[in-house]
Structures are given as structure tokens and as C-alpha cells.
Amino acid sequence: MRQVERHRTQRVGWLRPALPDAHDGVSDAQINPGLPASAGSGWSGELSAGDRSEIIAGLVGFDATISPKFFYDHAGSTLFERITRLPEYYPTRTERAIMQRHRREISLRISAGKTVIELGAGNCEKGKALCALIRPKCFIAVDISQDFLHRAVAGLQQALPKLEVRPVVADLMEDIVLPGDLPGGKRLVYYPGSSIGNFDPEPALALLRRVCRLVGEGGSLLIGVDLIKDQAVLEAAYNDAEGVTAEFNLNALAHLNRLIGSDFDRRDWQHVAFFNRQRSRIEMHLQASVNTRVCWPDGERHFRRGERIHTENSYKYDVDDFARVLDSAGFKQHVFWTDPRRWFAVFYAQV
């Protein structure tokens, strides 16, 4: 199966599942994308017209994709929290250990009085730890999962009552619009967890360039990056024995059913995750275990048994390569800290 995948990847070129306009394939007679968003099927208030067309474009493409941002409904965010505690999932605890071990040096480098902007804040646990360490005036939690974010922000506010805490719901593929009445002072963007790994090289660079502009002169970025390592270690982290990652992957189907009114039957799909060394990324897919048809209001697609929907990439970097990416994004200097096994790195970069 892996052989087949490699062949395919070369044939269709760069797969960019995180980008709405990135589907190399074309629709065929079996595929009917259905009504445009303006036709108003009224399935869900949570869904923008752009998201609906993005989802459908992903489903009808020759190589079907679901953007990883659709993992994070409330159930998905909860499942992701469970993933971070799995014995096989090393990134979260390795990053935390790095942050703890080097906390004195980190707090010395990052001067006080800042506004901290955390991207993909999730449950705000990491943001809370950073704020407890560097004591900024203001903390802005940016995340795509509105419901989850508001709860987390309330919890953080309770834990650190003197901190000005603000939630911002945003998609990192687009420009991040901050509230207009923020306190002045230097800005620090915090992007932990190696979430940058979800982006293909080009959009990753574009995001880092936007971060550069967002923090401005004198601003900085603290970012966690997962590193290339033994394939067995990498693959175990995305194929845990308890099946939580499989559950997380399959949950995207339930989320889509709610969002666009599709009728995915999760029993027809299997979790697949492997390291694509050529592209230096873990790929997650949902693979049809039977021939199956998926319908949504005025659209449908047939999937052959064995056909896959690409749901996530998680890029793994080499420290030197990531340093070069920071340079080209416009950061003038950087340092990084890593763990003794060199499994993960935390970079601090200044504009």
C-alpha cells in the first residue's frame, strides 16, 4: 500500500490539503458537488460559505482531502487533549520538558510587559505556563474552535486574574485580526506544539511572514517544532495502541456530517498514518474499507474500497532547515533549545 501511495504522490505532485484551492484532481461523472453555498441548505450556523465550498471541493477532488482544521469541533479538541497524554505521543511532553528545563534562560530573553499572542491556543494550558513564567500584561488566545476557546479563556482568567485575557477566533490560513484596543509594548507570538507542521512548506513560510508583520519591529516568536527522528517512533505517535488517534481522525467525519449534512458512516472508514520520508511528514488518511457512496444535500461522491481521504500532514523538520525558514520569513536572529534526544526544538526568533 505504501508503494502505491508513493507512486501517486509523485504523479499528482505537491499535495496541499490545507489549502482550499489546492486540489490537483478534477471531478468526474461520479462526483456532483451540489449547490453553491448561497443556495442555503441551512445545515449549520457554524459554517461559513467559504468553509462549505472548501469542504466540498476537498471531497470531490480526484485526491479527496479534508482540511485538518475540521478535526477541532468540541469532541475533536477533547480527543486531541487525550492524544497529548498518550505514552506514544512524545511531542507535548518533550516540548514541556524543554520549556521547563530552560525556563530561566527563556524568561531572561523574553522581557516583561509584553502582549503574548498564542496561535492555536486550545485549552490554554501552555499559554498559562508561559504567562506564569514571563508575566505579560495581556494574553490573546487565537484558535479556530470557538466553543472550546471561550471555556479555556475563562479558566485561564480565573487562574491569572491580573492578566488581561482575550479570545480571538481565527483561521491561521487567513490574516489574524486582533482587537483594536490592545495595550502597547512588544509583542510575542507563541506557537507551541509543532502545529506549524500542519502547513506545507510554502504556506508555512507565508504564515511566518504574517507573524513577522503582526509582531512588528522588536517583536518576537516562540515556536515549537517537531524534529525528524526514527520512523518507528514517529509512526507510533500517530498509531497509538489505545486508538485515540484513530478516533480523532474518524471524528472529522462526524463533524463534516454536522457541518454540510453529509452521511459518512464511520464504520466504512479506517485510520491510516505513516511517515512519508520524501516529504518529511506524517500523513494521516481515512481509507474506505468498502465501496461506499457519501451524499450531502444535492451532492455525492463514490469511494472505491481502499480509496483514501487525506486528512492531515504533520511535517518534521531538521533544525538547520527550520532556521533557514525563519530567516526567509524575515526574522533577524534566533536561538533554539532542544531535548537530549533531539526529538523536538523550541525556537525563539526576533524581528
Asked if 195 interacts with ligand AVJ (CB under 6 A), we say yes
**Strand duo 292-296 + 138-143: pairing:** unpaired
DSSP E strands: which ranges in the chain?
115-119, 138-143, 164-169, 187-191, 220-226, 269-276, 281-288, 292-296, 299-303, 308-315, 333-338, 344-350
Asked if 245 interacts with ligand AVJ (CB under 6 A), we say yes
Closest approach of Cβ 4 to ligand AVJ, in Å? 22
Reduced to 3 states (helix: H, G, I; strand: E, B; else coil), residue 23 is coil
Nearer of residues 73 and 300 to ligand AVJ, judged by Cβ: 73
Nearer of residues 237 and 349 to ligand AVJ, judged by Cβ: 237
Of residues 18, 83, 212, 345, which one binds ligand AVJ by CB under 6 A? 83
Binding string, 85-124, against ligand AVJ, x = CB under 6 A?
------x---------------------------------
How many Cα neighbours within 13 Å face the side chain of 71?
29
Of residues 136, 167, 197, 299, which one binds ligand AVJ by CB under 6 A? 197
Write out the three cell numbers for 10: 509523485
Nearer of residues 199 and 348 to ligand AVJ, judged by Cβ: 199
Asked if 145 interacts with ligand AVJ (CB under 6 A), we say no
Nearer of residues 63 and 312 to ligand AVJ, judged by Cβ: 312
Write out the three cell numbers for 258: 454536522
Nearer of residues 81 and 307 to ligand AVJ, judged by Cβ: 81
How many other CB atoms are there within 10 angstroms of residue 351's CB atom?
20
How many Cα neighbours within 13 Å face the side chain of 166?
18
How many other CB atoms are there within 10 angstroms of residue 317's CB atom?
23
Binding string, 175-194, against ligand AVJ, x = CB under 6 A?
------------------xx
Asked if 312 interacts with ligand AVJ (CB under 6 A), we say yes
Closest approach of Cβ 136 to ligand AVJ, in Å? 23
Asked if 292 interacts with ligand AVJ (CB under 6 A), we say no
Is 144 within 8 Å of 69 (Cβ atoms)? yes
Closest approach of Cβ 197 to ligand AVJ, in Å? 5
Is 308 within 8 Å of 65 (Cβ atoms)? no
Q: Which stretch binds ligand AVJ (CB under 6 A): 23-31, 101-109, 195-203, 323-331?
A: 195-203
CA neighbor of 296 nearest in space, from 97, 44, 92, 48: 44
CA neighbor of 177 nearest in space, from 190, 164, 168: 168
CA gap 333, 276 in Å, rounded:
31
Of residues 65, 198, 251, 292, which one binds ligand AVJ by CB under 6 A? 198
Tell me the site size for ligand AVJ, rule CB under 6 A: 12
CA distances from 278 to 207, 262, 307, 316 (A): 23, 34, 21, 11
Closest approach of Cβ 177 to ligand AVJ, in Å? 23
Amino acid letter, residue 222 = L
Asked if 238 interacts with ligand AVJ (CB under 6 A), we say yes
Partnered with residue 221 across adjacent β-strands are 189, 349
- Closest CB to ligand AVJ: residue number: 314
Of residues 314, 316, 344, 346, which one binds ligand AVJ by CB under 6 A? 314
Asked if 65 interacts with ligand AVJ (CB under 6 A), we say no
Write out the three cell numbers for 302: 463514490
Closest approach of Cβ 146 to ligand AVJ, in Å? 18
Closest approach of Cβ 248 to ligand AVJ, in Å? 6
User: 155 φ, ψ to 5°?
Assistant: -65, -45
Site of interaction with ligand AVJ (CB under 6 A): 83, 91, 193-195, 197-198, 238, 245, 248, 312, 314
